[in-house]
Structure 1
Amino acid sequence: MKKVILGFSALCLVFTTSCKEDATVKIKEENVAQAAQRDANAGNFPVISFDKVEHDFGTLEDGTPVETVFKYTNTGNSMLVVSDIKSTCGCTVPSNWTREVAPGETGEFAVKFNGKGANQVRKTVNLTTNTEKGNESVSIKAFINPSANAGSASVTPMQ
């Protein structure tokens, strides 16, 4: 058994020492330059600044559709990319967003809300971006007066 372990150890030693080439031979100058450029730009994330982070539609009658526009500015030093915008429910639909915004430029997106609900309603819209955080959010809110038919359903007591 000692001979097997000794032989296996010798074989491993041969493999580990035979693969040690000079690593500097494998390094390409162009790759070093690209890595240096990438590392220099690593902290230059785009920064998104909104004109408002919440929009209040005020008081609405149940079922009244409304729409607003959120504007955002890239206050960072690299291209802002907004890859997706989704809302927390189907009653709020974001659309027509500016996908790429250069530094100093402004983009926008529309949010349509169907006005359904009762009392105070708040919905969140999430943006997937290439900012350092990776996602941003804005919200809408409204106070919805219940429709006259909402409370008229008859209730039969349990027996």
Structure 2
Amino acid sequence: MKKQILAFVACLMLVATTTFAQEKKESLWLNETSHDFGKIAQGKPVYTFFELKGLGDSLKLEMVQAGCGCTTPEFKAGAYAPGESVKIKVGFNAAAAGRFDKPITITYNGGQQKVIMITGTVEATPATPAPANGAVGKIKQ
């Protein structure tokens, strides 16, 4: 009998947890959760902007943190009115050639977090300049 009661209580708790988890509404709107820069030149920094708004209650932007030093977020921490738009500028320095996937963590409203991503491919700068074109002198005018 005790096992049946415990099993019933466990089922009840599972149903309650699932119901509350489904009812939790998203409190942050983002215009995009990832940005693909595509192919970019090595040594040329690139930037993009992520726009966000608080849904319902006001938004308190606490921190925006990149996973490494090659990615630099710029933001203004503080409280924003419901529906007020906030922009986060995210820069990438493109120093190393190759594919990149960089996470940026947004912390807001008392410790809630949302991760956004920037991606792309840095194309290596040629080690030597292009060879001279000998045919240029042979063009008739």
Using the size of structure 2 for normalisation, the TM-score is 0.66
Give the match for residue 53 of structure 1: 33
Number of equivalences: 105
Question: How far off is 1:148 after superposition?
Answer: 2.5
Separation in 2 of the partners of 1:69 and 1:92?
Answer: 13
Is 2:88 the counterpart of 1:113?
no
Distance 1:97 1:137, change over 3 A: farther
**Amino acid aligned to 2:45:** P
Where in structure 2 are the equivalents of 1:59-70 lying within 5 Å?
59-70=39-50
Paired residues of 2:29 and 2:54 also in contact (CA < 8 A): yes
Using the size of structure 1 for normalisation, the TM-score is 0.59
Separation in 2 of the partners of 1:98 and 1:69?
Answer: 16
Question: How far off is 1:121 after superposition?
Answer: 0.6
Question: How far off is 1:108 after superposition?
Answer: 1.1
Secondary structure of the 2:94 match is: coil
Identical amino acids, percent of aligned pairs? 27
**Amino acid aligned to 2:88:** F
Paired residues of 1:46 and 1:103 also in contact (CA < 8 A): no
Paired residues of 2:71 and 2:102 also in contact (CA < 8 A): yes
Give the match for residue 140 of structure 1: 118
Separation in 1 of the partners of 2:26 and 2:58?
Answer: 6
Question: How far off is 1:109 after superposition?
Answer: 1.0
Unaligned runs of 5+ in 1: 1-42, 150-159
Greater strand proportion = 2
Is 2:89 the counterpart of 1:80?
no
**Amino acid aligned to 2:119:** K
Secondary structure of the 1:90 match is: coil
Give the match for residue 81 of structure 2: 102
Paired residues of 2:104 and 2:116 also in contact (CA < 8 A): yes
